[in-house]
Structure 1
Amino acid sequence: MAIVNVSDQTFGTEVEAGEGTVLVDFWAPWCGPCKMLAPILDELDGEVGANVKIAKVNVDENPETASRFGVMSIPTMIFFKDGQPVDKLIGVNSKEALKGVLSKHE
């Protein structure tokens, strides 16, 4: 499954209305650590794509969603299970760390 870009308008249907696990990456184009995380998420998507949806929210363009979930620094990844937030990681994390969190919520 390809990584999807989600906006304030599409967040409800793409993340909250779905079933299964969704990893939402809150990021911005000017954020250095976010740029470091992007290839890790691409790799992760290639490995878990059928089981986990990965969505990206640009916090500059979608401040409503970022504010709603209390995103104060980026990158922040919030993990959703069946539309509900279940876990959160802040900062650049390894692919193994992300997989560890995902495995808790399968």
Structure 2
Amino acid sequence: MSTKAVTDASFAADVLQSDKPVLVDFWAEWCGPCKMIGPALEEISEELADKVTIAKMDIMENTDVPGQIGVQSIPLMVLFKDGKPVAQKLGAAPKSQLKGWLESVL
């Protein structure tokens, strides 16, 4: 199971109503740092598949949810548990740091 694409339309069902934590990566095609962390998030998604779902939301194609959450800079990763944002990480980081942060907030 790799990362899942989420849209404004699917956000409530895919993220807010998920029975396990969901890490949403807010990104855009033109964002270099976003592209740098993409492969790391894919690997983490497979390694932690039983604990968390990793989703990606393109902020250029989906503006409602990022606007509601207040996304101002990307890449921004927000962890949702039980439909609520509980942690966030701004900016690119090596896979080891991303995974360590995610495991610490799960």
> Scaled by the length of structure 1, what TM-score is found?
0.92
Match of 2:102 in 1: 102
Deviation at 1:59, TM superposition (A): 0.1
Q: CA deviation at 1:41?
A: 0.4
**Equivalence for 1:81:** 81
Q: Take 1:87 and 1:18, find their aligned partners in 2: how far apart are those partners?
A: 16
What are the ranges of 5 or more consecutive residues in structure 2 without an aligned counterpart?
none
Residue identity in the other structure for 1:63:
T
Query: What is the one-letter code of the residue matched to 1:95?
Result: K
Letter in 2 for 1:49: A
Matched with 2:2 is 2
Q: Which residue of the partner structure matches residue 34 of structure 1?
A: 34
* Superposed displacement of residue 102, structure 1: 2.5
Cα deviation for residue 101 of structure 1 reads 2.9
Q: Describe the SS at the equivalent of 2:40.
A: helix
- C-alpha deviation, 1:70, in angstroms: 0.7
SS in 2 for 1:79: strand
Q: CA RMSD in A?
A: 1.2
- Report % sequence identity: 44
Corresponding residue number in structure 2 for 1:49: 49
TM-score by length of 2: 0.92
Deviation digits for residues 18-72 of structure 1 (CA, Å, limit 9, x no counterpart) = 1221110000011111110101101111211122100000000001111111110
Aligned residues: 106
AA partner of residue 65 (structure 1): V
Aligned to 1:12: 12
